[in-house]
Each structure stands twice: as structure tokens, then as C-alpha cells.
Chain A
């Protein structure tokens, strides 16, 4: 049977997919707390922005995060933060299948007819990253687009749809 084709999530997904975040009167399926941010020292903030081809931050993207190591899922729209950031409270995952620790990221937005898959890796995992089969499938000069930046607040992971720093997206 033929796959059902994808269509864009459009600009008006918020009351359906992230209602509580956008203050609509409907219960959210999931939010951006994969763990309680006060859970302890292991809880970290993952945040970033999505940039279009003109370097403008996208205010109507939907980001989903899948942590396969801990089987946790989160979802956040970029339309409620004044700087168009997405924010997730989670823990740095352990390794799965011998890969470097990473989170799977799915990007949806108006102007994307089909969603994009990428991964977030951690900068301090130098050795594990160097041996990671997925990072090694990526041309070396583009690997850095998949590695988050450690900041005092947590990890920053900006997603560039186009341009010199265009994020690597996967066919999975």
C-alpha cells in the first residue's frame, strides 16, 4: 500500500498539539518536561532556536524530542518564548546500541511539507562522538551542526534550516 503523504503542520498547530503551553483550554498530551526540572542535579535544560534561510528565528516551529535511552518524549512550540526558543527539561541520556549519547529531534513547521529528523549530541563526549556511527556518516565539516553547546544554563542546540551552518538532517 502507498504511504499516506505528509503535509505541513501549518501555523495553527498549537491548540491541537501544544495546548497547555499556549494556554488553550485542552489537556496537553505531553509537554517539555521529560523530567521534573527540580528532580536533582541530573536535570538539564536543553534549549535553542530554529533559524530560516535569512537567519530569522522561526516562531511557529514544533520541536519533538525522543530520548530512546530513557524512553521519554517531549514536545514544545517556539511561539511562546519571546526569543522563539524551544526549551526542554530532561537528563543527559546514556548510550544506546553503543552509540554516543544523543537525543533524537523531530522538526515541524509551516513551510515544511514533511518533517525533518536530526540528532543532538553532547560536546564533552569527545571520544564517544568520534566513534559514533551516525556522526561518522556525516561529512566531517558538518558534524558540528549536531553537537550542542554547553552553557551555564544547560545545552544550547540551534537548528539552521539553510545557510553555511545548515543542520544535518537524516533520512531514517
Chain B
């Protein structure tokens, strides 16, 4: 056992549990203070995934569920790096991806939004970072969609991500937004972030990776808790 050596969640940028504007937090946010515990091997380890967990088309959401043609919508390529808080790359770490289609419809059966499904787009994928912590995947730009949080509520365009990093303290589930989206000023999920955290979730349009006659490029870096020197063991 030892005292925490991994930085805790940075509350200057991380959202609180309770954000009343986002109504479902009201009955689901813990009300008691979190108990700080010493770190043990339980916290300094976590699941390790590798190339065997990623299929050949998992990084290309425009192709990984094609049935009878190309998915509809604006093709994009998203790239960036996964880093720790000291700026060191997090190599060979898994990123899981899920999103709505171009019409703002999720494949999920609970999604009742009256917008078309796309038979050629499931909207989920996975990618591993390389030795320098870089990743890249292809997808369709997700559409905005309505939700029932309040009257005329719409979620901005966003892509969901799940990352593991080296241990369970570095676990991250988040959403990436797009620059210039007018809905960001009206979205209680995005606005739940402290002001310093908001720009950290907006990707950057990137002409350098935009592929001529093919796909618009966006760049987005993930910064996980901790430092690369954090001791951890692999499975």
C-alpha cells in the first residue's frame, strides 16, 4: 500500500457529479463525499488490450459494417495522440468509439429519434495507439439529435470515446465535439464542464490530414491522468 502517486481527477476541468441542468444527474449523482483511499496493486493495474482485440476494419467506421454500399454522410478522418499529464505518449492503448450516424440516429434500440438508420453504418469501432501514442480512424461526421432533457433540447455533434490507459485510475469515457457548433452553447452535458475544461473537448479542423477528394481531417488529443512513470504491471 502507498499513498496516491497518481494525480487525482483535476476538478478544475472535470465535471461534477451533480449538474442540475442535465436532469438525469439529479437522481444518479452520489451525494456523499468520495473517500480517498491509498493506492494498492488493485489501483495500479488494469486490463491490457492489444492488436488481438482490434479487427482489421475496426478503425474504419465507414467500412466496418457495410452491407450494400457506402454509408451516407460527410466522411471524416480523426487523428491525434493519447498522452499522460506530463505530455508523454501512452503507447498501444485501446480507444473504443461509438456515435450517431449522419442523420443523428443511433443504432441503439432505445433511440426513438425519427431519423433514418443507415444500413451501412453501425457507428462503432476501435483503434490502438501506436508506439508514439498516435491514433487515426475514419468515420462519418455524426449528426445532431434531439433528446428529452428539456423543451427543444438537442445534443451537439459528438463522438463517444472510451479509453483505458495503464491502470483503472486512468479510465476515461468522454465525448469529442466539433469546432463552431452552435449547439455547444445550449447543451447541458457540455456546459456541465467547468469553463477551463470545455475547450479541451473540442477537436480542431486539420487541413494537414484532410485527404483530397476523400475526407475532412480533425485532430484531437487525449490526456489521461497520471504520468508515464506510474508503476503498473501488464497482464
Please give the residue numbers on chain A whose beta carbons come within 8 Å of chain B beta carbons, in ascending order: 1-17, 19, 22, 24-27, 29-30, 52-54, 56, 58, 60, 64, 66, 68, 71, 73, 79, 96-99, 102, 104, 106, 108-117, 119, 133-134, 137-138, 142, 161-162, 166-172
Report Cα–Cα, A117/B169, bound state, in Å.
9
Please give the residue numbers on chain B whose beta carbons come within 8 Å of chain A beta carbons, in ascending order: 1, 4, 7-10, 12-17, 19, 22-32, 34-43, 45-47, 49, 53, 55, 64-65, 83-87, 94, 96-98, 100, 106-111, 122-124, 126, 160, 162, 168-169, 171-175, 189-190, 192-193, 196-197, 200-201, 221-225, 235
Q: Are A170 and B34 in contact (CB under 8 A)?
A: yes
Given contacts A12-B106, A17-B162, A137-B35, contact A116 B53 (CB under 8 A): no
Q: Are B27 and A162 in contact (CB under 8 A)?
A: yes
Q: Are A111 and B28 in contact (CB under 8 A)?
A: yes
Q: In the complex, what residues of A have CB within 8 A of residue B9's CB?
A: 3, 6, 114, 171
CB distance from B209 to the nearest CB of A (A): 20
Report Cα–Cα, A89/B116, bound state, in Å.
38
Interface of A is mostly: loop
Given contacts A29-B53, A113-B16, contact A1 B85 (CB under 8 A): yes
Given contacts A17-B96, A25-B65, A71-B235, contact A5 B13 (CB under 8 A): yes
- Closest chain A residue, CB of each to CB of B201: A5
Q: Are A2 and B160 in contact (CB under 8 A)?
A: no
Q: In the complex, what residues of B have CB within 8 A of residue A73's CB?
A: 46-47
Given contacts A15-B108, A29-B96, A115-B171, contact A109 B41 (CB under 8 A): no
